[in-house]
Amino acid sequence: MTTNREAYEAVIGLEVHTHLLTHSKIFCGCSTTFGAGPNENVCPICMGMPGVLPVLNRRVVELAIRTGLAAHCTIAPYSIFDRKSYFYPDLPKGYQISQYETPICKGGYIDLPPTENGETRRVRLTRIHIEEDAGKNIHGDSASLVDFNRSGVPLIEIVSEPDLRSAEDAGAYLRQLRAILRYVDASDGKMEEGSFRCDCNVSVRKRGATEYGVRTEIKNLNSFRFVEDAIEYEVDRQIAIVESGGRVAQETHLWDPARKETRPMRSKEYANDYRYFPEPDLPPLVVPVEMVDQVRASMPELPADRKARYVREGLTEYEAGVLIADRDVADYFEATLPGLKNRKAAANWVMTEVLRVARDSDKPFVEAVPPAAEVGALLQMVEAQKISLNAAKTAFAAMVKSGKGADATVAELGLAQVSDESAIAAAIDKILASEPEKVAEYRAGRDKLFGFFVGAAMKAMGGKANPKVINEILRAKLAG
Amino acid sequence: MTSELNKLTIAEASSKLRAHEITATQLTRDCLDRIAAAEAKLHAFITVCEKEALDQARAADARLAAGNAPALCGIPLGIKDIYATKGVRTTCASRILEHFVPPFDATVIERLRADGAIFVGKTNMDEFAMGSSTENSAFGATTNPHDTSRVAGGSSGGSAAAVAAHECLGSLGTDTGGSIREPASFCGVVGIKPTYSRVSRYGVVAYASSLDQVGPFTKSVRDAAILLRTLAGKDVRDSTCSARPVPDYERALTGDVKGLRIGVPREFFVEGMQPEVEQSVRAALKHYESLGASTVEVSLPHTGYAVAAYYLVATAEASANLARYDGIRYGLRVNAEDNVALYETTRAQGFGAEVKRRIMLGTFALSAGYYDAYYLKGQKVRTLIRNDFERAFEQCDLIVTPVAPTTAFKLGEKMNDPLTMYLSDIFTISVNLAGLPGMAMPCGHDANNLPIGMQLIAPPFAEETILRAGDAFERTGSFKPRTPVV
Amino acid sequence: MAAAKITLEQVRHVARLARLELSPSDEERLRADMDEMLAYVDKLNELDTKDVAPTTQVGEAGTPMRDDVVTNQPAADAMLANAPSRDRDYFKVPKIIE
């Protein structure tokens, strides 16, 4: 679609709902495990039976506070739960317990990774609040089926200010948010399992304008790809409308990934008036300063802090940045280090060899690559000069395929490097003896011939000689 | 020869059971026999649990034989059909739950079971506790044991009538705007609504969550103290339930009210009250003075606004609490083509007129554009009412008032105009709004032999003051309860 | 005479919000009842509550919280026992159209 993009600015805000990593649900002792049989993880409370009452899970509050701290929010010492009323088959009580006017976290911001030209962007947050999830509907031909396993699973909703200006930014924001959530163990960010859902608010305005345009809401996007595509599409669609003199309607849309377009949701016959009022079954949530301090003290290291630590420990900004982008990668990198002196070699290896394999695989990172300890072992062998770097690469490729460990692979492939000086010296002597003209030319000044001798020596050793030792002995002998 | 053990009080029966003079099985059978004889006229029970009760009685007898059984072991009780009782249907007197069998017990039911109490059946009530006469039950009204052409009161009419008619030795009700105190007054029994949060609400089907409270009906104040001791106390399953320790309420029954300052609110003695009601309560106050208490006039200036505030706040909460009745997971379902129709027809057919009225009013009070003028306003006036009581209690330890402007009215008399019915709660409602404890107990009769009750109100968690004063009156007062006609 | 506090259209709207199907006579009766009640509660406007805080609870302050422990066992049959319409271990409802 060709549109007059330059004249317009896209204005995007994102609302992310994510499941919190708790063992039990927010208001009852049912398990939150994904993948259980239908209606196995339910009880009278999360099924909304008559007479039941909610009791708040402390871990939910702790994880919400962690997220708020990681996003630089203000943690409210006093917040209120509210009932949000609407009717839907997967909502057992006919209301959702949420937070309306007084959420647990306010304000805050997330900094996006710098762009190629070093530009940083800060996305402000409006709020983070706690709420419960609803069950799931499965649609058949003639009926729908309802499973309440997900009903009562704890959620936080993270609302950004409309600070994003492009689909790429939106993608970067979501990735950064997910990384933060995974770093603080608040969420596993698995969009495929439905534990990380995104709604987008999109509007456009003429560049330079200060007023916001009419926005549409695109709901329930469950992959980063869909988010970016949907935003691109919607921005173009709105610009086209405005350009042709029309008005954008304030609607809710769904993204159709097959046809790659947004469609208005079937207009609800009955408008939603949520009739929020304070939840009488739950006293106000009091979060004392001591609790916030405790949460802060027990928090896993944040990405920014970990990055700074890596830099202090000797990596470059760039290297540190690549490694911390995904918590699994950073954890992996650190797990290769025990016993290794050369941190940079490990960093380099992870950034090149390991990430390449991971990128090419469909599997999640941890399953796609050999165990970190094995890579560490391999790198230790290089460090101890037991194998060459090239041999290590060969071994790694084999380990990826076979799943075998470093020692076994190196042994199997006979990659051990020879450092025996007398053997190497003997081989070199033989070569020098067989090429007297070249030796003379080298001594006369043709330095380039050094490489020839190295190559010949390595070949004579079957490729297994330690190149450092070859260099040293060769230099000594050629010097006369 | 009939043993008529059902006419005993809990204290009397408990003593005889532990002295092995009677058995729980005999006691339970007498209650069941009485139920069989009286129910055609009284209709106090929705479900009679004959088999379960006799099983429980057998178990209780074994425990009593072993010695050291709790006070309530072997005592037959009626349970308002608003309490979840595992394996026994719990209807809330509504068609929408007519066949609902809960898979769990309410906390207070668990506590009573643990003490060995016996449940003879689930008692009748106004549908979802909405009403003041038990005429809103989907299964027919309960009549007043003193005159079966009149109401038993509501919403806990069945529980009150069952105790008054000696169908059981005590019963459980709930009170949101007077639903224990008013039927207690109409039926001539003791009914106490404890401080809000004193007793767990887990498993009590919710009407108005910030107002609902659990309480017993008994034949004597001592019996109320005994029951309350078991019912009250912290419950981790109810986030609004207080962790305050529970006193041994029986110890409060010293009989001594010397120096007790009794507040008499001028706003509670109004025009339109039945003259005998006022006379009875004033006579009771005189009696207290003769026992060494003093009376002082106090003012609760916002009393006249309580009914209005209540009908905004309670209905708003109720509209949300009743949203779960949709025919999907339990209860009545009226089949339909689509889900909206499923909800609309199920709820239309499952709920009675009064319930619908309150859901509509409550939904409106919370709806966009009306929240501030209605719900919020109601909650603000509630604060004023609480403050009234706080100020009054600076001058007195106990407040004594009538329970209702009249004695039991005729069946059908108030069904035409909802507002008239609502106004019969005028003396009880502000106590719920303020979260205070209040007890009704008999203090007289009118010319038609209909019971008159007085209400004793205390500051939060001062149930002991109420029980002490009530017990003192009961023991020394010249008024004697009449025998029911049923 | 005071103006009506609620119109028939508003009654219909509220009935939709509350998912209650009303017959025409229901509608009219409810309109009259609600009108009467709303006129009655109007008396609250005699009170100046500008500086009064609302009471949402009358219990004690403080937030009881539970430990993050799974305490419930799977019991699908017990939870589905009251289901008006059931398909294996699911609750069955008319097809939902999004």
Predicted confidence (pLDDT) per residue in A64-77, tens digit: 999 999 999 999 99
- What integer is the mean pLDDT of C23-45? 95
- The more confidently predicted of residues A45 and A418 is A45
- Chains touching chain C, criterion 3+ CB pairs below 8 Å: A, B
Separation between Cα atoms, residue B222 and residue B199, nearest integer Å: 18
What residues in C contact B311, CB-CB < 8 Å? 37, 40-41
Angstrom distance (rounded) from CA A248 to CA A213: 8
Q: Residue C15: inside a domain, yes or no?
A: yes
Question: Which residues in A lie closer than 8 A to residue B329 (C-beta atoms)?
Answer: 47-49, 92, 148
A316-373 pLDDT, tens digit each = 988 998 898 888 899 999 999 999 999 999 999 999 999 999 988 888 888 899 999 9
Residue B334: DSSP 8-state: -
| Cβ within 8 Å of B, A 259-278 | 269-270, 273, 275-277
| Residue A437: CB atoms within 10 Å | 7
DSSP H/E element including B178: none
Spatial contact of A461 and A418, defined as CB atoms under 8 Å apart: yes
Distance, C-alpha C73 to centroid of its chain: 31
Mean pLDDT estimate for chain B: 96
In one-letter notation, the amino acid at residue A424 is I
Question: What is the C-alpha to C-alpha distance for residues C32 and A176, in angstroms, rounded to an integer?
Answer: 57
Q: Which pLDDT score is estimated for A114?
A: 75
Chain A residues whose CB is inside 8 A of the C61 CB are: 283-284, 286
The vertex-B475 CA angle with B471 and B480, nearest 5°, equals 115
Contact C94 A144 (CB under 8 A): yes
Three-class DSSP category at A460: helix
Q: What is the pLDDT of residue B230?
A: 98
Chain position carrying tokens 């871990």? A59
First CA to last CA distance, chain A: 73
Question: Which CATH number do you get for residue C8?
Answer: 1.10.20.60
Interface contact flag, C14 B364, Cβ < 8 Å: yes
Contact assignment for B103 to C75 by CB distance below 8 Å: yes
Neighbours of A35 (CB within 10 A): 6
A53–B201 C-beta distance less than 8 A: yes
Could you list the beta-strand ranges (E) of B375-437: 398-402
Scanning the structure block, which residue is given the tokens 């549409």? A216
What's the Cα-to-Cα distance from B153 to each of B82, B129, B133, B143, B179, rounded to whole Å?
16, 12, 4, 9, 8
Cα separation, B162 vs B169, in Å, equals 8
C49 touches chain A (CB under 8 A): no
Query: What phi, psi does B298 have (nearest 5°)?
Result: -125, 170
Tens digit of pLDDT for each residue in A46-104? 999 999 999 999 999 999 999 999 999 999 999 999 999 999 999 999 999 999 999 99
The region of weakest confidence among A383-392, B198-207, C85-94 is A383-392
Decide: helix, strand or coil at residue A163.
coil
Measured CA to CA, the distance from residue B19 to residue B17 in angstroms comes to 5
Q: Cα–Cα distance between A239 and A241 in angstroms, integer?
A: 5
The domains of chain A, with CATH numbers, are 5-291 (no CATH), 301-412 (no CATH), 421-479 (1.10.10.410)
Q: Residue B296's beta-bridge partner residues? A: B263
Q: Is C89 exposed, middle or buried (0-12, 13-18, 19+ CB in 10 A)?
A: middle
- The confidence score (pLDDT) of residue A262 equals 87
A51 touches chain B (CB under 8 A): yes
User: Which C-chain residues 28-67 have CB contacts (< 8 A) with chain B?
Assistant: 30, 33-34, 36-38, 40-41, 43-47, 49, 52-60, 63-64, 66
Phi, then psi, of A17 in degrees rounded to 5: -105, 130
Tell me how close the Cα of C3 comes to any Cα of chain B, in angstroms.
Answer: 17
- Residue C35 counted as domain residue: yes
How confident is the model over A185-211, as a mean pLDDT? 88
Cβ atoms within 10 A of the Cβ of B77, count? 28
- In tens, the pLDDT along A120-140 reads 889 999 999 999 999 999 998
pLDDT at position A269 is 46
Asked if A96 contacts A133 with a C-beta cutoff of 8 angstroms, the reply is no
What's the pLDDT score for residue A189? 82
Instruction: Pull the structure tokens for residue B204.
Output: 């009590």
Neighboring chain A residues of C65 at a CB cutoff of 8 Å: 55-58, 61
Q: Which two tokens stand for residue B399?
A: 């407040």
Q: Look at residue A4 in the predicted model and tell me its pLDDT.
A: 66
Tens digit of each residue's pLDDT (9 = 90 or more) over A154-181? 999 999 999 999 999 999 999 899 989 9
pLDDT tens digits, B333-353: 999 999 999 999 999 999 999
In this predicted structure, what is the pLDDT of residue B355? 98
Write out the two tokens for B199: 């007793």
Distance CA A374, CA A353 (A): 14
Task: Report CB contact under 8 Å: C97, B338.
Answer: yes
Residue range B423-467, pLDDT digits in tens: 889 999 999 999 999 999 999 999 999 999 999 999 999 999 999
User: pLDDT averaged over consecutive 10-residue blocks of chain B (486 residues)?
Assistant: 85 97 98 97 98 98 95 98 98 98 98 98 98 97 98 98 98 98 98 97 98 98 98 97 96 96 94 92 97 98 96 98 97 94 97 97 96 96 97 98 96 88 91 97 96 98 98 89 83
Q: What is the pLDDT of residue A178?
A: 92
Q: Confirm whether C26 is domain-assigned.
A: yes
pLDDT at residue A413 tops 90: no
Contact A52 B320 (CB under 8 A): no
Closest-CA residue in chain A for B323? Answer: A94
Contact call for residues B419 and B458 (beta carbons, < 8 A) = no
Nearest CA in chain C to B90: C82
* In contact, A13 and A158? CB cutoff 8 Å: no
CA distances B72 to A68, B75, B125, Å, are: 51, 5, 24
Phi and psi, residue A197, nearest 5° = -120, 145
Q: Is residue B462 within 8 Å of B437, Cβ to Cβ?
A: yes
pLDDT digits (tens, 9 = 90+) for B61-119: 999 999 989 999 999 999 999 999 999 999 999 999 999 999 999 999 999 999 999 99
pLDDT score recorded for residue A2:
53
User: Residue B387: what pLDDT?
Assistant: 97
Q: Which residue of A has its CA nearest to C88?
A: A38
Q: Could you give the count of Cα atoms lying within 13 Å of A354 in the half-sphere of its Cβ?
A: 30
Residues B173 and B126: their CA atoms lie apart, in Å, by: 11
**Chain mean position to CA A100:** 29
CB atoms C65 and A282 under 8 Å: no
Residue type, B278: E
pLDDT digits (tens, 9 = 90+) for A439-459: 889 888 888 888 888 888 888
Rounded to 5°, angle at Cα B442 from B440 and B448 = 125
Residues of B noted as catalytic:
80, 155, 179
pLDDT in tens, C35-49: 999 999 999 999 999
- What number of CA atoms fall less than 13 Å from residue B159's CA on the CB side? 37
Q: What is the CATH number of domain B5-256+443-449?
A: 3.90.1300.10
Burial of B196 (0-12, 13-18, 19+ CB in 10 A): buried
Chain B residue nearest residue C37, CA to CA: B419
Q: How far is B390 from chain A (nearest CA, A)?
A: 21
Residues B288 and B311: their CA atoms lie apart, in Å, by 34
3-state secondary structure of C8: helix
Q: Rounded to whole angstroms, how far apart are CA atoms A308 and A85?
A: 46
* Contact across the interface for A51 and B328, Cβ inside 8 Å: no
Q: Cα(A371)–Cα(A399) distance, rounded to whole angstroms?
A: 10
Contact B303, B286 (CB under 8 A): no
B119, B28 Cβ separation under 8 angstroms? no
Q: Strands across the sheet with A82-85, in order?
A: A95-98, A82-85, A277-278
What φ, ψ does residue A260 adopt, rounded to 5°? 55, 55
- In this complex, do B203 and A51 lie within 8 Å of one another by their Cβ atoms? yes
- Rounded Cα distance, A94 and B319, in Å: 10
Element (H, E) at B216: strand B213-218
- How far is the alpha carbon of A48 from chain C, nearest alpha carbon, in Å? 11
Taking the C-alpha atoms of residue B428 and residue B184, their distance in angstroms, rounded to an integer, is: 12
Nearest to B120 by CA among B153, B85, B147: B85
As given in the structure block, the two tokens for residue B36 are 């069989």
| Any B CB within 8 A of C15 CB | yes
Instruction: Tell how strand A285-286 and strand A78-79 pair up.
Output: antiparallel
pLDDT in tens, A260-297: 888 888 655 445 799 999 999 999 999 999 999 999 99
Instruction: Give the residue from chain A lying closest to C71, CA to CA.
Output: A29
Find the domain containing C10 and state its range: 1-42
Split into its structural domains, chain C has a count of: 1
Pairwise pLDDT comparison (B154 vs C58), residue with the higher score: B154
Tokens of B334: 């009226």
CA distance B40 to A278: 45
Q: How far is CA B331 from CA A128, B327, C93, in A?
A: 37, 6, 14
Cα gap A441→A450, rounded to integer Å: 11
In-domain check, residue C7: yes
Q: Name the residue facing B106 among A51, A83, A281 (closest C-beta).
A: A51
What does the pLDDT read at residue A223? 86
Question: Phi/psi of residue B131, each to 5°?
Answer: 155, 170
**CB contact (8 A) between residue C14 and residue B419:** no
User: In chain A, whose CA is at the least distance from the CA of C79?
Assistant: A43
Which one-letter DSSP state was computed for residue B303? G
CB contacts of C27 in chain B (<8 Å) are: none
pLDDT at residue A304 tops 90: no
* Shortest distance, CA B240 to any CA of chain A (angstroms): 6
Which residues, numbered 35 to 94 in chain B, qualify as contacts with chain A under a Cβ-Cβ cut-off of 8 Å?
82-84, 90, 92
pLDDT for the residue A268: 54
Domain ranges across chain B = 5-256+443-449
Element (H, E) at B151: strand B147-151
Specify the pLDDT at position A363.
Answer: 85
Q: Which residues of A284-322 are buried (b: 16+ CB within 10 A; e: fewer)?
A: bbebeeebbeebeeebeebbeebbeebeeeebeeebbbb
B432 closest CA partner among B321, B310, B320? B310
